[in-house]
Amino acid sequence: AIQMTQSPSSLSASVGDRVTITCRASQDIRSDLGWYQQKPGKAPKLLIYGASTLQSGVPSRFSGSGSGTDFSLTISSLQPEDFATYYCLQDYNFPRTFGQGTKVEIK
Amino acid sequence: ELQLVESGGGLVQPGGSLRISCAVSGFTLSDHYMAWVRQAPGKGLEWVGRSGNKASSYTTEYAASVKDRFTFSRDDSKNSFYLQMNSLNTEDTALYYCIREYGHAVGSGWHEVFDIWGQGTMVTVSS
């Protein structure tokens, strides 16, 4: 199974900060990667697919980049509602595998 | 409104069985791939598996951790998707999410995403 490694596992940031989360795959997965946001007590929500395509309705402050094995999710200006845990997920093959998550907390 | 509502979770003893359900509304179940993802308390997300749509003859994929113990089924006439769980152990304790998979074409690529999630149903395996 492909291993997805996210970093950092947690970070503290302030409203307005630029935040970047990275995800590394254990093998080449082309651009077959999505990013999901999960707030406490809620189901995850799709943010980005195909490594860089924004899901409809997701604010443009979110962006994704990368291909092959290295990917990143960037929030250009952190908003109060963005404090959550973020997961990457590869859809290159089965079994699908998630990163371990990155918790974004208020500084 | 596109919606998934899980039900049927609860407390079950180790070695026991449980079937959880996912009621679908707002779209035609037979047209879509469906998946289950679980989340143990305080932990990350774990993919359980997926069921193909009618056009794929409902092909299935399972995580190694549940293969041969868990089985997907669906009743398209009732717009319901099911997860039958057998030989449960304490490591299966988790919140189970029902998910619709949706395919997106991006350039020359095809991406299967989890675009609709239910609210989850909790399964606790304990004596």
Q: Report the pLDDT value the prediction gives residue B104, as an integer from 0 to 100.
A: 84
- Which tokens in the block code for residue A76? 């250009």
Q: Report the pLDDT value the prediction gives residue B6, as an integer from 0 to 100.
A: 98
Residue type, position A98, single letter? F
Chain A residues lying within 8 Å of B107, measured CB to CB: 50
Q: Is the CB of residue B113 less than 8 Å from the CB of residue B102?
A: yes
Give per-residue pLDDT as tens, A2-48: 999 999 999 999 999 999 999 999 999 999 999 999 999 999 999 99
Give per-residue pLDDT as tens, B43-61: 999 999 999 999 999 999 9
Beta partners for residue B22, in sequence order: B6, B81
- Which tokens in the block code for residue A14? 């302030």
Assign B20 to helix, strand or coil: strand
Chain A residues lying within 8 Å of B119, measured CB to CB: 43
Number of residues in chain B? 127
Does B113 sit within 8 Å of A55, measured CB to CB? yes
Q: Is the CB of residue B63 less than 8 Å from the CB of residue B45?
A: no
Beta partners for residue B83, in sequence order: B20, B72
Beta partners for residue B112, in sequence order: B103
Q: Is the CB of residue B111 less than 8 Å from the CB of residue B88?
A: no
Nearest CA in chain A to B41: A41
